[in-house]
Structure 1
Amino acid sequence: MPDETISILQGSAFVVCDRRGDFRAGRDAAVGLFYRDVRHLSRWELRLNGRELDVLSAKTIEYDEAAFFLVEPTGTIYRNPSLSVIRRREVARGMREEIELQNHGVKTLHLELSFLFGADFADIFEVKDGLSKKGSHYRSQQGDILTLGYRRDDYCRETYLRAPGAFFTEESLTFRLALEPRESWHGLIEVDVAIAAGGPLPKRAHSPDMPASLPQWLAAAPRLETDWHDLKATYRRSIVDLAALRFYPYPTSPASLPAAGLPWFMAVFGRDSLIASYQALPFVPEMARTTLRALAAQQATEMDDMRDAEPGKILHELRLGEMAHFRERPQSPYYGAADSTPLFLIVLDEYERWTGDVETVRELEQSARAAVTWMREHGDADGDSFIEYQTRNPGVGLENQCWKDSWNSIVLPDATMAQPPIATCEIQGYAYDALRRTARLARAVWDDPAYADQLDSDADELQRRFDAAFWLDDLGFYALALDRDKNPVRTLTSNIGHLLWSGIVPEERVGALVTHLCGEQLFTGWGVRTLADGQQAYNPIEYHNGTVWPHDTALIAAGLYRYNRRVEANRLAVGLLDAARHVGFRLPEAFAGYPRRTTEVPVVYPTACSPQAWATGAPLLLLRVLLGLEPTAEGLSVDPFLPDRIGYLALRGVPGRWGAADAVGEHTSR
């Protein structure tokens, strides 16, 4: 089987296959046709007279279509094939496959063209963890439509195969053909899906699950001009991938938002959607509006231990598969994130600063106030001004509820785990920024100066307490976290860079943080490691303990920019943007943390999602940093500071409260 995979996606559906267009799922392989967290086809293999075909070429056509150009195998280099096969595939609430055969020879060919199929209906968590099914499979056929189904109690999923002119067996559909010389044959197979028995979902028109089509989406985004040609390709890839990841998360959803990433996280993740929306604000501001509204619609209103829900909390994850349905994973929506709520407030304020859309801010006022109340009461249960987390569902709830949410991410210098409740440093920075920003909205939009004054007072107190409790004077950086005994976790990580992004760091601490962030222990040459080389727990291929995450590095660059450390911000930006050219101009979820001088090319983390929302948004945030873009009451402020790598950089038609504006920068000797 060819090693390279081809992925296409639209809305809640995606297909991952090999370069023939085939897939056959193993126990933990994320290949197949998926819809809303469930694999509706686990096997789809083309055979010509019982044999596999050879690949000439395979490519994606934007994000929701792919084409595969195949030939019959001859078994020898001395005989050229006389039959070619073209497969064209689209995905949209199912799959549509067109087949074209061309006889280039001088003899009539008698052919059997078969598709071997299967549907295991595996939940995405079952795929990831190699788990077995608990329900029962069934099948039925009416005319030229075969139904493959799965049922477990009140849960049901179905897949429908329609292939006019084919005959079916238990595991295959076959077209029998006689193809004259120079003759072509065309066939069509449609695969529909259902989330209830007997009810195939209607397909939308051939466009994303959004009001704007891809051409409209691209046309609305600013036009990039630069002499760094690789940056042009990276920019376009980011804009296209953001369009691809948009979807309506639930049937009654009032708005769409970006899914977190393919293949494991094609679902709502509050933190991911908010950060990606923040990154994309100067380019596609409507993504922030739809994300804010969708998350507000699912804001928690009551206590629920199973879901780690508390009034005012913004969700972490929304899953629609079998395991969430039967509470074998946290029931959706799941609220096990301590940072999504302050991030909601940050994005709400930043959205208004860019767009001037006060109506949305007024519409979401009560959601914002509820979020602040959550931070004060449930987030800070012990009243020490810090937001702590600890799951109330130890069976399936997340142990760590910060952005580094793997079980072993909050680690002490001796490589043992910090014990909950845990207060990570970057969440305190988010909370500080959220208080400041909400105070601004209270004054400027909600006409409540008393509330604003109280929020500013809370922010002052948080900043004072944070510096006193987290600063490690002997090490020159902030602790990763406070553990259950309020002891600082003295581990050097990238989290300290998020503190610069939030603005909670006093000026006198900035230089020490910058030295660490740009030093060899953290900076690889491509980006900033999640955990520093030299720490006992460091592993360059451990998910959160040594890898490089593009969004993490981009936020750190934005923090350096905030404190006017632009030379260092540019260093991070150029390293990360340079990495993109080695991976098809699409930044993955994470890279391995190897030094650049050792590998010379970035090494992708083994199970990294791609595309992934906040990795896709990272180049956009870096463009904002390079050009020094800031929204003001008077219009778009532009303060470019370009690295030597870039001679000229411009964004034409940056949208905002000013309408559309140009941002232009040229390199000058410094």
Structure 2
Amino acid sequence: MGSESSGPTAATAAFRCPLRPTRANRVRDTGEVRVTAAARRPTPADPMPEAPERLGVSSGAGRDLPPELGPDAIGVLEGRTFMFSDARGDVPRGSIGGLVHDDTRFLDQWELSIDDAPLLVLSAGTVDAYSAAFFLANSELAHLPANRVGVRRQRFVGDGLYERVELRYFGIEPVSIRLRLAVGTDFADLFEIKESGRDRTPDITRQHEPDGVALEFGYRNGTWAASVRVEADPPADVIDGDALVWDVHLERGQQWSCEFSVPLRCGDERFRPTVRGFDEAFDHGPEDPSTRWAAEKPHLHADVDLLRDVYHQSAVDLVSMRLEKTIAGEPVALLAAGLPWFLTIFGRDTVITGYQCMTCGPDVARGALIVLATHQATTFDDFTDREPGKIFHEYRTGELTQLGLKPYSPYYGGADTTALWLILLSEYWRWTGDDELVCRLRGNAEAALRWIDRYGDRDGDGYVEYATRSAQGLGNQCWRDSPDGVQFADSTIPVLPIATCETQGYTYDAKLRLAELADGPWRDPDMAQRLRGEAARLREQFNQDYWMPERGGYYAVGLDGDKRPIDSMTSNMGHLLWSGIVPDDRAAHVARHLMSDEMFSGWGVRTLSTADVGYNPIGYHVGTVWPHDNSIIAAGLARYGYREEANRIAMAMLEASRHSRHRLPEAFSGYDRSFGREPVPYPTACNPQAWASGAPLLLLRTMLGLEPREGRLVADAHVPDVLGRIRLHNVAALGRRWNVEAAGAECTISAAD
């Protein structure tokens, strides 16, 4: 955990007495968000960053996907391990590719060559989320024409790297070649891969085996230590620096092969990759959580292949991003946020994905609830934006975090995560009836409510606001967390603290849901009455302060530090429908805007209206289309009875997936559908990403209208005619299994057991 502040008195004073923001100190047209509240300097007990980042720059800043690896860069992942390479399977030194595990890069060079010449690409791609195949050939050499030696590389990741290389010779005369695998490591922290970091070369040790069996690299910095070993079978004939070299003699038709195993060590933990083949499962036994989840998820039968293919791809991707932990002796599973930079727990992403996946079983929601509650803040700390009762935003385990140079151990800079955790707690209970867990987590829920009312509401105006106190904190602490993610319609940047609209909607929903728990398993009617009263007051006040009568009537994206409505028109309005904070007579206005030409691209709802000055179809939160965002919007539209509009979004998402092998990426560009025959990719989208993979599951639930109610699973189907009949078998709800069959508005539900 991050160091504590100098004491409760100092921390409380810094929190309660911010400088009043004024228009004079507002930053305009810079892409930054300025913190207007006073932020204390770290005390001697606080970790001091070597190079504080500019406020407002998220942990995803710097270089994104590796342009130097080419447009066909290939990434594979499992759990906390991923590897990016070019289409040859190579990782050139100096790129941002490599083998990464637990936020540390263990290989930054992995290049295969024949006679020091790079190989030619015939075909390459992923086979499963954790595996890839590369079909290559030799380049033109002085003594050998091109395409005489066929090369196949088969790669598997998970707790390290396992790779097979196979050569086949198709020349007429015998040939001798030199196969070289150049290996390197920089043990860079994840944040340094994307940005820049110190050169660890003088501190990296080598213990290579002279018989060619293995290369081994080690690194230590104080209490932080890591090592990586590259084991070869058969052993190399020569070790040349950090390269393994084989002298291979081939006759026509002859085959030669080699296997590499790359085990890792992080601190005291040792990891060894599993030797496996394509299409093998992730599991290591029938009781493995991934095995159980894959076996117990509902089976989808559909008249249309598209829906079935998207559902299957989402399930495969979600399994690949599962993280398994043990909390107080209890094994739990939850989902990492996405490849490549977010294979870790992100509070907001993890909670929303757990919600999206409820029809596939409650275990990832349960895991998210338990893990996030375990790390719920109990103290103040400026460096990590920690406040009592707050649910964390991001957890990292790399060197810079463990040595206190980065605030991610964990970092609490998310204003909406705490309310979202409460919503997931309620949703989990509605689907499972698990009184035991809900009662066990009651103290965490009450602490979360206290954070919302006391610390989230920074100035006592009834709204949850955000403003970082950390030199390395996020400027925007909502889901639109890029520096320009929240802006006025004229593109100017508001001052902090900011109270975004959807966070108020989440808070409203959370309080109503907890009132339901208070009436139920908590048996506290006074608490239930109080929470319903607070929710009603919030709803009334919100609809006075956030409603903009201009442009036909819509909701401002937030209030700035001067309590001015931030008047850009955004997709966040759809989250308000999802939360239920919108009065019925205003829902039609919101629905109309969301489905207008300015907001709906034909592939989905844009994050920002094209009529706003800051609109950019390839701007991260200012014009792109996000599948998770659209799944929430569709659920919100359906809640208010706008089923055709919800289906229009669902079909747009499904059709968009056709062009990305049935996988929805984190985001795609907001160009209008008439601009091209397929969605224009967003250049640095995470792919796969958990809440994008979870989006089709929530869209399917929305089309079926599935809800647990009064001890049964009920449905209110509105399936698009183009999808024909849908059969979803073995849905877990309320301790039973259910079969759902629907076509159009007709639906039947029966017990599966």
Does 2:223 match 1:157? no
Q: Shift of the alpha carbon at 1:216? A: 4.5
RMSD (Å), alpha carbons: 2.3
The equivalences for 1:116-515 within 5 A come to: 116-133=182-199, 136-143=202-209, 144-164=213-233, 165-166=235-236, 167-196=238-267, 200-203=270-273, 208=282, 211-212=287-288, 216-248=292-324, 255-393=332-470, 395-475=471-551, 476-515=553-592
Shift of the alpha carbon at 1:448?
1.2
Shift of residue 205, structure 1, vs aligned partner: 8.4
1:245-303: CA deviation from partner (whole Å, max 9, x where unpaired): 01147998953321111111111100000001100000132110111111111111111
Q: Residues of 1 paired with 2:202 and 2:672: CA distance?
A: 49
Map residues 524-563 of structure 1 onto 2, 5 A cutoff.
524-563=601-640
Q: 1:618 to 1:106 in 2, by over 3 A?
A: same
Deviation at 1:102, TM superposition (A): 2.7
- SS in structure 2 of the partner of residue 317 of structure 1: coil
The answer as to whether partners of 2:78 and 2:157 remain within 8 angstroms in 1 is yes
Instruction: Name the structure 2 match of 1:38.
Output: 104
Q: CA deviation at 1:317?
A: 0.2
Q: Distance in 2 between matches of 1:215 and 1:232?
A: 20
- Paired with 1:485 and 1:589, the residues of 2 have a C-alpha distance of 33
TM-score (normalizing by structure 2): 0.84
Distance in 2 of aligned mates of 1:205 and 1:278: 34
The within-5 A match list for 1:35-114 is 35-73=101-139, 81-105=147-171, 107-114=173-180
- C-alpha distance in 1, partners of 2:658/2:294? 21
The residue matched to 2:332 in structure 1 has which SS?
A: coil
Q: What is the distance in 1 between the residues matched to 2:730 and 2:350?
A: 24
> One-letter code of the match for 2:533?
S
TM-score (norm 1): 0.94
| Residue 579 of structure 1 pairs with residue 656 of structure 2 | yes
> Equivalent residue of 2:603, what SS?
coil
2-structure distance, mates of 1:604, 1:118: 32
Please report how far the alpha carbon of residue 336 of structure 1 lies from its aligned counterpart in structure 2 after TM superposition. 0.3
Deviations 1:580-619 (A, max 9, x none): 1011111111111111112231011111000001001001
The structure-2 alpha-carbon separation of the partners of 1:209 and 1:216, relative to structure 1 and needing over 3 Å to count, comes to: closer
How far apart are the structure 1 equivalents of 2:81 and 2:487? Answer: 37
Q: Distance in 2 between matches of 1:616 and 1:296?
A: 24
Q: CA deviation at 1:328?
A: 3.9
Native 8 Å contact 1:238 1:619 kept in 2: yes
Instruction: Find the aligned partners of 2:117 and 2:274 in 1 and give their Cα distance.
Output: 35
Deviations 1:431-459 (A, max 9, x none): 00000111111111111111111111111
Q: State the shift of 1:244 in Å.
A: 0.4
Verify: 1:638 aligned to 2:709, yes or no.
Answer: no
Q: Which amino acid aligns with 1:7?
A: G
Distance in 2 (alpha carbons) for counterparts of 1:307 and 1:169: 45
- Aligned match of 1:19 in 87, 93, 96? 87
- Per mean C-alpha deviation after superposition, the further-off stretch among 206-215 and 316-325 is 206-215
The alpha-carbon distance between structure 1 residues 193 and 632, as it changes in their structure 2 partners (threshold 3 A), is same
616-625 or 206-215, larger mean C-alpha shift: 206-215
Answer yes or no: is the 8 Å Cα contact 2:139–2:145 preserved in 1: no
Task: Check 1:136–1:338 CA distance in 2 against 1; reply closer, same or farther (3 A cut).
Answer: farther
Equivalent position SS for 2:543: helix
Contact 1:635 / 1:658 at 8 angstroms: preserved in 2?
Answer: no
Q: Tell me, yes or no, if the aligned pair for 1:558 and 1:625 is still in contact at 8 Å.
A: yes
Distance 1:178 1:600, change over 3 A: closer
What do residues 370-424 of structure 1 show as CA deviations (whole Å, max 9, x unaligned)? 111111111113222211111111x210111111111111111221111111100
CA contact (8 A) 1:439 1:453 kept: yes
Query: Against the structure 1 CA distance between its residues 307 and 249, is the aligned structure 2 distance closer, same or farther, given a 3 Å change threshold?
Result: farther
Secondary structure in structure 2 of the residue aligned to 1:567: helix
The 1-side partners of 2:176 and 2:290 are apart by 42
Q: Is the contact between residue 190 and residue 398 of structure 2 (CA under 8 Å) also seen in structure 1?
A: yes
Contact 1:71 1:81 in 2 (8 A): yes
Letter in 1 for 2:223: D
Equivalents in 1 of 2:439, 2:729: separation in Å?
31
- Cα deviation digits, residues 547-605 of structure 1 (max 9, x gap): 11110011000000111110111111111111010111111111111111122310111
Local SS of the residue matching 2:723: coil
- CA 53–203 in structure 1, closer or farther in 2 if over 3 Å, else same: closer
Structure 1 alignment gaps of length 5 or more: none
CA positional deviation for 1:182? 3.6
| 1:318 alignment partner, SS class | coil
What SS does the aligned partner of 2:679 have?
A: coil
Q: Tell me the alpha carbon deviations over residues 6-64 of structure 1, each in whole angstroms, 9 at most, x when there is no partner.
A: 2211111111112221122545x3x1100111211111111122222223332323221
SS across alignment from 1:640: coil
Shift in Å, 1:209: 7.8
Q: 1:6: which partner in 2?
A: 74
2:20 aligns to what? Answer: none
> 1: distance between equivalents of 2:338 and 2:706?
27
Q: Deviations over 1:333-373 (max 9, x none)?
A: 00000111000010111011112222221221111111111
Comparing 501-510 and 46-55, the one that deviates more: 46-55
The alignment of Structure 1 onto Structure 2 pairs a total of residues equal to 664
Report the secondary structure of 1:88's partner residue. Answer: strand
Are the aligned partners of 1:300 and 1:314 in contact in 2 as well (CA < 8 Å)? yes
Instruction: Quote the Cα distance in structure 2 between the aligned partners of 1:392 and 1:209.
Output: 43
Structure 2 segments unaligned to the other structure (5+ residues)? 1-68, 747-753
In the TM superposition, what whole-angstrom CA distance separates every residue of 1:458-517 from its partner, at most 9, and x where no partner exists? Answer: 111111111111111234011111111211111111111100000011111101111110
Task: Report Cα offsets for 1:89-109 as digits up to 9, x if no partner.
Answer: 211211011222233455443
> Residues 305 and 502 from structure 1, CA distance in 2 versus in 1: closer, same or farther, beyond 3 angstroms?
same
Asked whether the 8 Å contact 2:326–2:332 carries over to 1, the reply is no
Deviation at 1:213, TM superposition (A): 6.5
Residues 10, 209 of structure 1: 8 Å contact kept = no
User: 3-state DSSP class of the match of 1:159?
Assistant: strand
